Structure 1
Amino acid sequence: MGILTELRGRVEGLSSFAELDVARSELPASALGLTDAAVIELIDSVGSLARDVGTLQAVLAGVAARRSGRERGVEGLSTAVGHRTPVELIRATTGVGRGEAARAVRVGEALLEAAEGLAGSSGANADADGRAAEASGAEVAWHAPVDAALLAGRITPAQSHAIIAGLGEPAEELLTAWCEAGRRLVDEAAGWSVEQLGEQARTLRDMLDPAGAEERFARRFERRSFRMWADGDGQQRGTIVFDDEMAPWVRGVFDAALRPRRGGPRFMTDAERADAAALIDDQRTNEQLSYDLLMDLVRAGALTDAKQVFGAREPGVRVVVTAGGTRDALGRLVSSGVVEDGGTAVPGSVVDRATCIGGRVEVTVDGCGNPLSVGREERLFTRAQRVALAVRDGGCMWPGCERPPSYCEAHHSVPWSEGGATDSDVGVLLCRFHHLLLHNGGWSIRGSGPTGFALHGPPGSGREPVPLRSKSPLRWRWDPPPDRVGWRSVA
């Protein structure tokens, strides 16, 4: 079916909602008359329409870029209509921001590159997973599976750009691994926000290419900076460009101080609960609290007792790395680790330094990342179990949630009151909001670590169970479940 035929069908589907067939000025008021079910249906329909329009726009942006090459000079398409670059042409014509215009051009250029690879393969057509072109023996771009998914409507242009830009260009010997990584990220794209998908792609890139991770870390470290200046009103301002190691540490400082305001875990000591109540009642904004905390850190320096500055909980950054790993001729670790909160990849040199400074905690897991168990002796999960759950789950397991492990509570998939054990293989990390929503709204999580968890809607809701996927970047290092057979052979 042609893309324009699909677009017409989607627009015709909207025509059944009379509330939308009004003058533009009357649309907001009219839309308030829609039922809740209609709103959900329309959000999905309009999202699909926007995805198709975005793909069409990206293709046209790629064509405009191709026809605006420097070799064409003043006869180039963009220059001929008065714009310096194709990005400026797209921005001025569509009214989108410069970043979105640049993304459309890059995605369009990638699609054209993939199309040229297919054209040289005796007319082979890529299927929705991009495998047909590979089977033909043609030389196709490593991102062909991503491009095929975009053209098939499985992902959006923004998701395509997040995957391609996040993985970056691979070395020649890593082309196969990059192609497989792109395919796997496409398969999981629906479970991530665009920002998370980009972070997952970057982390996966550094796992597949640890030597390159060390180089990328060094380049970003060189760009670190701090600058102060006064604006026109005399207000002193500053900007900081962080390196990969200190950014999570500073974020951890603020998280430790502000977590009670941001929906952190409810289970704490009486002293921690009192401190949390005082923080919630504080009249300062989160930004003012962050500023005051930063100034306290600068003033106090290394001589102040950490508890005086941070309160009951000291900040920290937990770096997670699988055991083993090879070393180069200079004894440097040739494998990367990840920061527990957020999954940022760090190279082997940072892993070694973190181990030297903070020691290590060993967690034993099975082939799919499921950790130790302690049975029913304890109502609450132990610290060791929570560390293990953080390694396995990578944050709140609720679909679409971005809360990191430090903001999560351990949920018994089989309630303790019904005989459920406090075992890690039946425990699931949920943030405070989704933990309360689950218990108060009639939702349930069933299954276990070895077999996989699924989120079930309230009784009578008619919702299909939603499989819950780990958000830990380390999931790529475990013996893969059935949907990732063969992953290790290319990684």
Structure 2
Amino acid sequence: MLDLSDRSVVEIARDLAAIANDVARLQALMAGVAAHRSQRKDGQNGLSATEGHASPASLIQDITGGSKADVLRQVRVGKALLEEVIELREGRPGAGPESGQGGPGSGAGGSGAGGEGASGEAAVPAAAPRATWKTVLRDAHLGRRLTAEQHDVIRRGLGEPFDDSEDTAQVWVVAAASLVDDAVNLTVEDLAVHARAVRDAIDPVGAEQRYARRFENRSFRTWLDREGQHRGSIVFDDEDGAWINAITAAGLRPRRGGPRFMTDEERARAAELAHDPRSNDQLAYDLVMSVLRAGAVADAKDVFGVRQPGVRMLIVNNPDSGGGDPGPRDAYGRLLTAGFTEDRGHPLPGSVIDRNLCMHGTTEVTVDGCGNPLDAGREHRLFQPKQRLALAARDGGCMWPGCDMPGSYCEAHHIDPVAEGGRTDIDRGILLCKYHHLLLHNRGWRITRDGKRAFILHPPPDVGGPPVTLVSKAPWKWAWDPPPPPSKPNWRAA
């Protein structure tokens, strides 16, 4: 095995992953069947009970030896994959065709002898069931476009539509299809964030309710373990969780591959941090403790060094809302627009956005109907702060396939070399993390773009392979990708 070529290692790893994913699909289906045959109504005659187990998850865990979390996911995914099949077999309302025609022998357009109804007229074939967002996910999973983990996080993040209207159902279908397309470029963790962000974008009223539930779960407690070690547990609400992440990111960014382009002061601090003997967890602990000790009276530079942390929030403002308001409001004046943290795009409800708008104000970045930033300037050699903000709004982080580095850790890459007359123009710039920026320059990769179409990544000759279309990592791209139908410019507000 050690004598295999690099290309062989990659190809074998991909083949094994495909086999493992196929096995996982079959395991999920069998777990779903076991769950269906172990329902409460079956009592002691259910499959799990007859095998001596209290639940199908317990049965599957005993068979596979897997973790409880993995087994519970298998059961969830399996039940989801079999849901429509079970509904059709059991004849539940709404499970069949939507044409209103009866099935064979129903007496309402059903087939008789010779395929004709009782009136002698040819029977009208029933319409095929309408595709739902769940069938989109099921077909993508069975068609090998989604793994079991990806299927699970999309379904749980997107959740059930908030009403039964045709428009809402269609929005959920397109949302599910869009997330299936995103899955190929995202980690499972980031895909889960995207799914929740899409849900909050199309259901801002529900976003407030979900935020309120998470806010109620906030807690902080400490205790002393048997060895006399002080321990603690914190459950954050959405906003303070983002704030803590911003604090630790500000202190650890040089270790985690932050941008290379620094002042002398920043470079000296980065070198000092790189040689610090403490682990990242120890550094994060010391940093948070320093913040608690310093309190509100300390100079930010005493704690954070050269860069003060903060949580930048992004909202997509509909120009048709009028009056400069960031979005529609209900009868009580509450903002009905979801926002997102710049790093990783965690969704935030309108109440949090409105409060921060009041306290901190806004910086406006104009984009066209496809999400391309406009009117951010192009007069300098390096990308300026407002241009960087525009790139972050468009790209959502490092655009390299499979990279999950957030925007604040990225560098702006000129796709047209400045030495050859390339412009510092947001249309010709793209966010890359430090590692992938160096890889591109040092190993012969290239990025091109035709006008405002997609950025294309071209492998070097020694790597080979077809060009790769780069896709934005921003969860808020839902506002323009996919584009709305011409007849429904605000169709996402189902």
Q: Which TM-score applies when normalising by structure 2?
A: 0.87
Separation in 2 of the partners of 1:309 and 1:490?
43
**Match of residue 359 from structure 2:** 357
1:417 has 2:412 as partner: no
**Match of residue 104 from structure 2:** none
3-state DSSP class of the match of 1:191?
A: coil
3-state DSSP class of the match of 2:238?
A: coil
Q: Residue 68 of structure 1: which of 14, 38, 53 is its match?
A: 38
**Structure 1 pair 123/249, CA: closer, same or farther in 2 (3 Å)?**
closer
Q: Residue 110 of structure 1: which of 62, 66, 80 is its match?
A: 80
Separation in 1 of the partners of 2:262 and 2:54?
58
Q: Is the 8 A contact 1:78 1:89 kept in 2?
A: yes
Instruction: State the Cα deviation string for residues 81-130 of structure 1 (Å, max 9, x = none).
Output: 12211111111211111111111100110111122356554799xxxxxx
Structure 1 residue 47: deviation in Å?
Answer: 1.3
**Match of residue 180 from structure 1:** 174
1:382 has 2:384 as partner: yes
Instruction: State the Cα deviation string for residues 35-80 of structure 1 (Å, max 9, x = none).
Output: 2222111111111111111111111000100111111112211121
CA RMSD of aligned residues (A): 2.3
Separation in 2 of the partners of 1:317 and 1:170?
30
Q: Is the 8 A contact 2:179 2:195 kept in 1?
A: yes
1:228 has 2:230 as partner: no
Task: Report 1:312-327 matches (<5 A).
Answer: 312-323=306-317, 324-327=326-329
Q: Is the 8 A contact 1:338 1:344 kept in 2?
A: yes
Q: Is the 8 A contact 2:220 2:233 kept in 1?
A: yes
Separation in 2 of the partners of 1:123 and 1:68?
31
Instruction: State the Cα deviation string for residues 356-400 of structure 1 (Å, max 9, x = none).
Output: 222211111222222246776422100110000000000000000
1:441 has 2:459 as partner: no
1:269 has 2:263 as partner: yes
Structure 1 residue 480: deviation in Å?
Answer: 4.0
Q: Residue 145 of structure 2: which of 147, 154, 157 is its match?
A: 154
Structure 1 residue 296: deviation in Å?
Answer: 1.1
**Match of residue 401 from structure 1:** 403
Structure 1 residue 462: deviation in Å?
Answer: 2.8
Q: Which TM-score applies when normalising by structure 1?
A: 0.87
Structure 1 residue 448: deviation in Å?
Answer: 5.3
Separation in 2 of the partners of 1:465 and 1:486?
34
Q: Is the 8 A contact 2:416 2:428 kept in 1?
A: yes
Instruction: State the Cα deviation string for residues 116-162 of structure 1 (Å, max 9, x = none).
Output: 356554799xxxxxxxxxx9353665311100111122211111111
**Match of residue 254 from structure 2:** 260
**Match of residue 330 from structure 1:** 332
Q: Which runs of 5+ in 1 are unaligned?
A: 1-30, 125-134
Instruction: Return 381-390 or 81-90, whichever deviates more.
Output: 81-90
Instruction: State the Cα deviation string for residues 231-283 of structure 1 (Å, max 9, x = none).
Output: 11111100100001111111000000110011100111111111111211222
Q: Work out the number of aligned pairs and report it.
A: 451
Q: Which amino acid aligns with 1:147?
A: R
**Match of residue 39 from structure 1:** 9
- Bigger Rg over Cα: 2
Q: Which amino acid aligns with 2:404?
A: E
**Structure 1 pair 479/486, CA: closer, same or farther in 2 (3 Å)?**
farther
Q: Is the 8 A contact 1:117 1:138 kept in 2?
A: no
**Match of residue 133 from structure 2:** 142
State percent identity of aligned pairs.
Answer: 53
Separation in 2 of the partners of 1:153 and 1:438?
30
Q: Which amino acid aligns with 1:389?
A: L
Q: Is the 8 A contact 1:317 1:339 kept in 2?
A: yes
Separation in 2 of the partners of 1:171 and 1:231?
45
Q: Which runs of 5+ in 2 are unaligned?
A: 90-94, 100-125, 318-325
**Match of residue 235 from structure 2:** 241
3-state DSSP class of the match of 2:254?
A: helix
